[in-house]
């Protein structure tokens, strides 16, 4: 996680929230007493916004890393929402504590006595909305990235099939086979007929399997035996193979 970038986002989100809340308060009769008051409210708003955003961002990235591709399941989403509410509540409590006790001089017991749930409602609601936006944005990214990965896999498979087909239909193999066939026709017509039959079976197998993603080991072994028979007819005793008869 790029902390600097996330802080920038948090500041932007805080500014948007400040403007929206300001418009709502203005429509409900709130008046700006002075520029100093406006600046104080803006700074306070940004402190809360950035703190809540970053606390939830760290938790959010923890959830993503822990559950990887499964973090959009209902159970994990529920953990995310509950965790976000809990983290937001603790963050707000600590901010209020610092404001009242550390900087305001209020005693801890007095602070606890004066705390009310209403102080947390609006901020937690905003936090939940922001968390929802987090999930929506990253879910969209997740779907798009998964589509891209699927397309890459499809393209890679097609490329591999094409390369395999090109290698199997190597022109050099065909030319060499035709040269062998020409020699056999003159020297041993019966062997030439056998060689032609085997060669046609090789190419028929290649064409039949080109659209298949998987083939059985038995089929590949039979093809290997067929291909070996061609090599033996070409090189005669100069080449020796050992192939298992059974799997």
DSSP string, 137-200: HHHHHHHHHHHHHHHHHHHHHHHHHHHHHHHHT-HHHHHHHHHHHHHHHHH-HHHHHHHHHHHH
pTM of the entire structure? 0.51
Contact predicate 56/84, CB 8 Å: yes
* pLDDT score, position 17: 78
* pLDDT score, position 246: 65
Cα 12–chain centre separation: 27
* pLDDT score, position 167: 60
Mean pLDDT, consecutive 10-residue segments, the chain of 247 residues?
76 81 76 77 83 82 73 72 83 86 84 82 74 74 79 73 60 73 79 83 77 76 82 76 69
């Amino acid at each position: 996680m790029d902390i600097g970038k996330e802080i920038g986002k948090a500041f932007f989100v805080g500014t948007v929230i400040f403007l929206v809340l300001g418009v709502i308060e203005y429509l409900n009769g709130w008046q700006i007493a002075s520029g100093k008051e406006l600046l104080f409210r803006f700074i306070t708003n940004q402190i809360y916004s950035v703190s809540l955003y970053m606390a939830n961002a760290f938790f959010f990235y923890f959830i993503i890393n822990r559950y990887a591709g499964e973090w959009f399941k209902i159970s994990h989403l529920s953990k995310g929402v509950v965790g976000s509410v809990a983290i937001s509540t603790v963050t707000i409590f600590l901010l209020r504590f610092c404001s009242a006790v550390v900087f305001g001089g209020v005693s801890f017991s007095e602070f606890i006595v004066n705390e009310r749930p209403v102080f947390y409602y609006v901020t937690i609601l905003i936090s939940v909305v922001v968390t929802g936006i987090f999930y929506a944005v990253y879910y969209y990214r997740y779907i798009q990235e998964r589509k891209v990965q699927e397309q890459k896999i499809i393209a890679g498979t097609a490329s591999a099939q094409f390369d395999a087909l090109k290698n199997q239909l190597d022109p050099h193999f065909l030319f060499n086979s035709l040269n062998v066939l020409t020699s056999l026709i003159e020297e041993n017509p019966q062997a030439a007929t056998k060689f032609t039959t085997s060669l046609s079976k090789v190419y028929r197998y290649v064409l039949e399997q080109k659209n298949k993603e998987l083939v059985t080991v038995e089929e590949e072994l039979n093809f290997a035996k067929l291909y070996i028979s061609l090599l033996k007819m070409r090189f005669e005793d100069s080449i020796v193979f050992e192939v298992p008869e059974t799997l």
